[in-house]
Amino acid sequence: MSPMCGRYASIKAPADLADEFRAVDVTDGAVQPDYNVAPTKNIVAVVERHPRDAEGVPDPDTTERSLRVLRWGLVPFWSKDAKAGARMINARSETAATKPSFRRALAARRCLLPAEGWFEWQRGENHKQPYYTHYQDGSSLAMAGVWEYWKPEQDPENRYPDGLVTASVLTTAAVGVLAQVHDRMPLVLAPSAWDAWLDPDAGTDAVASLLVPPPAELVAALELRPVSAMVNNVRNNGPELLDPLPPDTLADPLQLDLLAGPNPA
């Protein structure tokens, strides 16, 4: 199947996200509600770092969690140009620790990417039907992510005076009814896992137990619904993208009673 999570919705105001994720908002108005977040767009991320003094020295005894703006599509620190980011919107949780593009970020630069929900496409013989998945109670999804800082060795046109900070969404095997749409899904972390994931002093081994498909109880809290193909065009961006379609209009409706437990594959 094709790679996933390639679109999601990020609608809540940064101030509300800061409250929900217990973070300081430093986005400075740089992002707006987006019903159709696509690769290479600026996105909101939650990161936790040791604050630095005026000389740039980090304080090892203090951490600060903040809401920041990154670009979706990770550019590895060793990349010769920024074009690689468009191809690295996702990182497989099973292999990120060993892939040159992601292993340094997984070890020391993890983040959460808040979302109202994500879009995925069910591919049939003659159709491609988008579905939208979100928490039924309106809580934000916390998609596990990794981020990197990149700055070119040479920048004669001064295109990147401050470098780029970019991110990828980690993915995992889809579970329950979600596997009927696609074999992969974002690695969604429960609130109880946020502190461990964001801990800047925890290495890859410390978070290995989080790199697995979500438990059945988290999936049971999700709602999956078919939506209009308008989301296929990134220029479309409004609340109508989240409106449900009647099941009787679908070429191949999902069997929603299968929402139970992990995908046996």
pLDDT digits over 153-166, tens only? 888 888 888 889 99
Looking at residue 246, its pLDDT comes to 84
Residue 192 — φ and ψ, nearest 5°?
-65, -15
Looking at residue 247, its pLDDT comes to 76
Residue type, position 72, single letter: W
* Those residues with Cβ within 8 angstroms of residue 135's Cβ, 6 or more apart along the chain or in another chain: 117, 141, 221, 222, 223
Question: Which of the residues are catalytic?
Answer: 5, 120
User: pLDDT digits over 172-197, tens only?
Assistant: 999 988 999 999 999 999 999 999 99
- For the chain, the maximum distance between any two Cα atoms, rounded to a whole number of angstroms, is 63
Summarize the confidence of residues 126-131 as an average pLDDT: 87
Query: Would the pLDDT of 261 be above 60?
Result: no
Specify whether the CB–CB gap between 45 and 67 falls below 8 A. Answer: yes
pTM over 0.85: yes
Query: Would the pLDDT of 252 be above 90?
Result: no
Query: Would the pLDDT of 258 be above 80?
Result: no
Burial of residue 92 (number of CB atoms within 10 Å: 0-12, 13-18, 19+): middle
Specify whether the CB–CB gap between 68 and 112 falls below 8 A. Answer: no
Specify whether the CB–CB gap between 230 and 142 falls below 8 A. Answer: no
- Could you give the C-alpha distances from 216 to 41, 64, 133, 257, in angstroms and in order? 32, 32, 15, 14
Q: Which of 18, 26, 23, 70 is nearest to 44 (CA)?
A: 70
The pair of structure tokens assigned to 52 is 């630095």
Burial of residue 50 (number of CB atoms within 10 Å: 0-12, 13-18, 19+): middle
* Those residues with Cβ within 8 angstroms of residue 88's Cβ, 6 or more apart along the chain or in another chain: 73, 74, 75, 76, 101, 168
Question: What confidence category does residue 114 fall into, taking pLDDT thresholds of 50, 70 and 90?
Answer: very high
User: pLDDT digits over 95-104, tens only?
Assistant: 999 999 999 9
H or E element: which one contains 225? strand 222-226
Q: Which domains are present in the chain?
A: 7-258 (3.90.1680.10)
Burial of residue 161 (number of CB atoms within 10 Å: 0-12, 13-18, 19+): exposed
User: pLDDT digits over 11-44, tens only?
Assistant: 999 999 999 999 999 999 899 999 999 999 999 9
Query: Would the pLDDT of 235 be above 60?
Result: yes
